[in-house]
């Protein structure tokens, strides 16, 4: 099969940064999927479901390409926290995360529609957060972009000063589990190159 282009079905600057870091050439075509939380799924299945929906949508438009779709959620006490709807919602989420342990789950789908290839998986990272005062939370919400991030925080920005420990893949918290993704992406690339 001829060289296949790769498309990231996401506008996430963090995912773009991760793919650039590992030398993958890709184009960005956001899926424009309107996500909702009215699904009776486990957190892992929830993240995988939305990664599948995003990937399928773009795959059907670009059938000869490798499409990467992902969805990252924050989960605390088995309750899913997606992206906040406003600053008030951000404050509420960060108050929940303060002084507790939560999970960050990213669902990833990689597909090539024309070749009937579709791979989906998820990765979980545990994050332990120190106690954050109300003043600190307000400072963070007012000075950093929280509305485009699951759980209202970015591990790569100022929020990192409150992270006591992580157990699992750091890049998963950013939005793409780099090691697991790279392994599966290369399997698909090699499969296509042998056709």
Catalytic positions are 71
Helices (H), the chain: 13-21, 43-61, 87-97, 134-143, 170-174, 178-193
179 Cβ contact list (under 8 Å, min separation 6)? 169, 171
Residues 77, 100: Cα–Cα separation, whole Å: 10
Tokens matching residue 5: 């282009």
Pick from 116, 32, 124, 25: nearest CA to 69? 32
Pick from 168, 140, 174, 134: nearest CA to 154? 174
Pick from 135, 132, 141, 108: nearest CA to 18? 108
Beta bridge pairs of residue 107: 71, 122
Exposure string for 65-96, b = 16+ CB within 10 A, e = fewer: bbbbbbbbbbbbeeebbbbbeeeebbbebbeb
Residues 141, 82: Cα–Cα separation, whole Å: 16
């Amino acid at each position: 099969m001829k060289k296949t282009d790769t498309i990231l079905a996401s506008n996430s600057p963090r995912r773009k940064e991760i793919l650039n870091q590992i030398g993958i050439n890709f184009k960005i075509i956001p899926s424009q999927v309107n996500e909702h939380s009215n699904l009776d799924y486990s957190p892992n299945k929830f993240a995988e479901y939305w990664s599948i929906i995003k990937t399928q949508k773009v795959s059907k438009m670009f059938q000869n390409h490798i499409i990467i779709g992902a969805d990252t959620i924050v989960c605390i006490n088995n309750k899913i926290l997606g992206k906040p709807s406003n600053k008030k919602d951000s404050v509420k989420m960060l108050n929940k995360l303060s002084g507790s342990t939560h999970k960050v789950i990213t669902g990833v789908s990689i597909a090539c529609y024309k070749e009937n290839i579709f791979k989906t998986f998820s990765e979980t990272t545990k994050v332990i957060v120190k106690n954050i005062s109300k003043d600190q939370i307000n400072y963070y919400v007012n000075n950093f972009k929280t509305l485009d991030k699951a759980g209202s925080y970015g591990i790569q920005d100022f929020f990192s000063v409150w992270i006591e420990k992580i157990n699992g893949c750091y890049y998963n918290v950013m939005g793409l589990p780099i090691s697991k993704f790279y392994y599966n992406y290369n399997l698909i690339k090699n499969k296509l190159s042998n056709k």
